[in-house]
Structure 1
């Protein structure tokens, strides 16, 4: 059963945890956020957020996981209940299962795109206009069409789900750890090869090169736009990136840490995992997308192309064509290395999303590993099929916001309150430092108790009440003496999402377009009901499991 599983080696644990954290956000979202928010100036709030929120939450989740695992719990309902006296904690812990399952439902879809692009690149590469048309072929998406259908895309999606389920069925040490030991070194190798080649582009000898790739690198490290530091939006973007990059605020770290022994170190291992992730993001991530793109598009061209802040279009539509400048022999290989890197980053993260759900079923309902994997696949398909068959503006983007963004912040706030206030900071500190080979600075005792929750509350409130002019525009108007601007909800705010502000029907739209937007709003209403239904479903399972255990609440 799951409670008897252990990591086979410390290096395997670190690589698996790093694989959980190192995902698509390291190589797509981070460069885009840096380019959009002042380059090197973005790194200042980024590092501050890492120190006062990222590292503390990482240690909190590692400590909670090891503590719950020592009592036989390997998923957040049991881990939360083991640390809090109120019976409500186990139901709040259900959010850890919902986020993992919800994110996996669309993350696996992106994973299938990466695999499709990698294979296609290796078979010959992309022409000048092919990446966008290829994306349409594998997703079946077209403008103003609600439903999307692509047999090749669905086949690749099914293959990726099958690969994940098979690996998970092999167990923690026999499946996840084995994959991490292969995938993480390969990922680093692919990244280094691309970064070195990208930095070799020369505007003097190659007329296709508009600017030196070092301009892109220097934008992050040497020539920051310090006027952006006073911009609240930059701080919010930096804090949001920390959630994305460390995979905090969901149940995966708790689950992985629960397979440690009671005195296994969590302080040094947790810090090592965080720094490994940061190396992949800050060092390799910053040396890939921006320098290569700046070479052929120019710095301003790159800024314009990442206006949305995701880097998706640049990575999937633009970069494959830029590789053509590297010659007909190397371009297909470069495309394979790039999308292979993204696939490896994605699969090590998606495995971490599936494991908590399987652990819950194994712990609480005594399912075998194989049966739990089949149950996970059934749950995944319930959410993943709508993701694949409806335009990405519908279920895909809605899931990304509610379970992939908003829920992470809510969950992080709950866990820091549980750890520092319900469980108690004194007991929490004792758990964190037990068996620690790293001396954790005492300052983090107070950071975890006061600064981290305050920081998260500010982020949460800013996300809920964000005005249409942005917080920078809002405070800028007040500071310049123009008074308080007229209030409108931003389309990306929590309230704006509830009101479908990001799905406003364009003026003078045709009846077909009007119907499309009406259908999208209807779909989003139903997908939110679906997420609530999944939460209720897991809550019912928790109630049944704890009733079977009796008052003690520990596995029999």
Structure 2
């Protein structure tokens, strides 16, 4: 693998980094979370706040992360602590806020790889007919619960099978990261996205040609299924929750605010375009989400379960649709086992291209700040996160995954996005920021985005964060209510939730200590950080 004179890795070209960023963004949320959010929040009307959030929140954050990531790469920094310090050199504390950009992706990696491994297992189960005897929602849900180790029944006698697939999946992730930017991440994303889109298009065509599977129920057809998802319920637009759900989906789908894009962009050279590349990566993700994701799960469920059944399924959440409903649907079509394999394997590939990106901020931090080589940093990261993954595996039924998902994958994302937006537009300065964004650019971003990035985007983020604090903040912090849910904790689960939160605090404290240790020993370098 060739490197630049400074010894830092570089992407092989524009296509490589665009596919890597798109691979990071295209994940389970595109095919599972998006259709559920749309179905539950006004159908076609949901797309109005969705695209408003895309243009006012998603695109600006993409450009911000691409720009400050490339800026940090100019003085050999690939993670938020060093880059934030470079943006605000006079501050002694801003680097500690940058810890969120390492902490968040690491927490998500811990539980995401376990979920990802379920998809690998189900890919094999589809081909071998392991769940073929499950013919209704109850039996398929029982199969999933037993696989996760939540219950013991005729399908599985413990979590052993799931653990085996977890070991394979985890090892694959660390192996890819060990190979680095070009030979590992870029190569996997180039191949993976082709496989993903090929399988997704194949399944979409199969779904769209289902017609009305039951002649006695001609209204239960795919066209009406598309209408169920896309016909607008305009009254939903008056609900603040719909707008927040749309903004949350944009966050979830673009990997904006995770700190991952920032790290990927740091491996660009100073004259590499970020404006068009960021736009292209975002557009690729939207193609996968709106066109493909919106044309598979809900229309297929509608054709077999009708409007009432689909409504209940959508309320049951993304996992229920992906692991319970879709296997049942695909069992009922010719060659269903092969379509089921394609379904689960495309989700697995989407998961891998996302999870390897989540590992990179921590690995890059170890490389940059402790001068570790790539393989040593990757293995060290793997050893630590492998042990932490067992918290999710062993306490899955006690809410550990939900706690990690909320604090690492939701709360930290909004806070980090707000911090980097303020740093970029207000501290670094909009004039310098605009110049930096357009350096080497192949397009000129409309001038209105100067105003949007400086005023609208941070205001949007402050509103989202403030609304959560007002509505749910205190009950969530005091363990009166489960994160992002309107229900109290089940009996006996509060102690487990508190334990997970203490673990997360310890993780953040260790990362902050490492940042302190590095800066205590560091001599000024590059731009003075």
Judge same fold: TM > 0.5, yes or no. yes
1:202 is displaced (CA, Å) by: 2.1
2:16 to 12, 16, 27: 12
In the alignment of these two chains, the number of paired residues is 512
1:499 is displaced (CA, Å) by: 2.6
Question: Which consecutive unaligned segments of at least 5 residues does structure 2 have?
Answer: none
Question: 1:79 maps to which residue?
Answer: 83
- Taking the aligned partners of 1:207 and 1:440, their CA distance within structure 2 comes to 54
In the alignment, structure 1 residue 134 sits paired with structure 2 residue 153: no
In the alignment, structure 1 residue 391 sits paired with structure 2 residue 399: no
Q: Is the 8 A contact 2:398 2:497 kept in 1?
A: no
Q: Is the 8 A contact 1:265 1:435 kept in 2?
A: yes
In the alignment, structure 1 residue 522 sits paired with structure 2 residue 501: no
> Residues 452 and 503 from structure 1, CA distance in 2 versus in 1: closer, same or farther, beyond 3 angstroms?
closer
- Taking the aligned partners of 1:184 and 1:34, their CA distance within structure 2 comes to 24
Question: 1:472 maps to which residue?
Answer: none
Q: Normalising by structure 1, what TM-score?
A: 0.88
The ranges of structure 1 where at least 4 consecutive aligned residues each deviate by more than 6 angstroms after the TM superposition are 553-556
- Taking the aligned partners of 2:403 and 2:528, their CA distance within structure 1 comes to 36
Question: 2:436 maps to which residue?
Answer: 431
Question: 1:499 maps to which residue?
Answer: 478
Question: 2:203 maps to which residue?
Answer: 194
Q: Is the 8 A contact 1:208 1:296 kept in 2?
A: no
> Residues 518 and 230 from structure 1, CA distance in 2 versus in 1: closer, same or farther, beyond 3 angstroms?
closer
1:122 is displaced (CA, Å) by: 1.4
- Taking the aligned partners of 2:80 and 2:116, their CA distance within structure 1 comes to 25
In the alignment, structure 1 residue 306 sits paired with structure 2 residue 311: no
Question: 2:287 maps to which residue?
Answer: 279
- Taking the aligned partners of 1:18 and 1:326, their CA distance within structure 2 comes to 31
1:325 is displaced (CA, Å) by: 1.4
SS of the residue aligned with 1:224? coil
1:72 is displaced (CA, Å) by: 0.2
Deviations 1:525-547 (A, max 9, x none): 11111111111111111112122
1:209 is displaced (CA, Å) by: 6.8
- Taking the aligned partners of 1:555 and 1:325, their CA distance within structure 2 comes to 63
Deviations 1:392-419 (A, max 9, x none): 4421110111111111111111110111
> Residues 378 and 204 from structure 1, CA distance in 2 versus in 1: closer, same or farther, beyond 3 angstroms?
closer
Give the root-mean-square deviation of aligned CA atoms: 2.1
In the alignment, structure 1 residue 411 sits paired with structure 2 residue 420: no
> Residues 287 and 92 from structure 1, CA distance in 2 versus in 1: closer, same or farther, beyond 3 angstroms?
same
- Taking the aligned partners of 2:330 and 2:342, their CA distance within structure 1 comes to 11
- Taking the aligned partners of 2:219 and 2:165, their CA distance within structure 1 comes to 37
- Taking the aligned partners of 1:220 and 1:3, their CA distance within structure 2 comes to 50
- Taking the aligned partners of 1:526 and 1:35, their CA distance within structure 2 comes to 35
Q: Is the 8 A contact 1:164 1:351 kept in 2?
A: yes
Question: 1:335 maps to which residue?
Answer: 340
1:138 is displaced (CA, Å) by: 2.3
- Taking the aligned partners of 2:78 and 2:344, their CA distance within structure 1 comes to 33
- Taking the aligned partners of 1:288 and 1:393, their CA distance within structure 2 comes to 32
- Taking the aligned partners of 2:22 and 2:48, their CA distance within structure 1 comes to 23
In the alignment, structure 1 residue 316 sits paired with structure 2 residue 323: yes
SS of the residue aligned with 1:373? helix
> Residues 299 and 92 from structure 1, CA distance in 2 versus in 1: closer, same or farther, beyond 3 angstroms?
same
1:69 to 70, 73, 89: 73
> Residues 197 and 269 from structure 1, CA distance in 2 versus in 1: closer, same or farther, beyond 3 angstroms?
same
Deviations 1:291-349 (A, max 9, x none): 111111112321221225x321011111101112103xx11111101111110111100
1:391 is displaced (CA, Å) by: 3.0
Deviations 1:210-231 (A, max 9, x none): 511122223344x211111111
In the alignment, structure 1 residue 24 sits paired with structure 2 residue 28: yes
Q: Is the 8 A contact 1:118 1:340 kept in 2?
A: yes
- Taking the aligned partners of 1:236 and 1:31, their CA distance within structure 2 comes to 16
Question: 1:269 maps to which residue?
Answer: 277
SS of the residue aligned with 1:465? helix
Q: 1:66-465, aligned counterparts within 5 Å?
A: 66-85=70-89, 86-124=91-129, 126=132, 127-129=134-136, 130-142=139-151, 150-203=159-212, 206-207=215-216, 211-221=220-230, 223-308=231-316, 310-327=317-334, 330-465=335-470
1:379 is displaced (CA, Å) by: 2.2
1:131 is displaced (CA, Å) by: 3.1
Question: Which consecutive unaligned segments of at least 5 residues does structure 1 have?
Answer: 467-492, 505-513
- Taking the aligned partners of 2:365 and 2:527, their CA distance within structure 1 comes to 13
1:434 is displaced (CA, Å) by: 0.7
Question: 2:507 maps to which residue?
Answer: 534
Q: Is the 8 A contact 1:137 1:153 kept in 2?
A: no
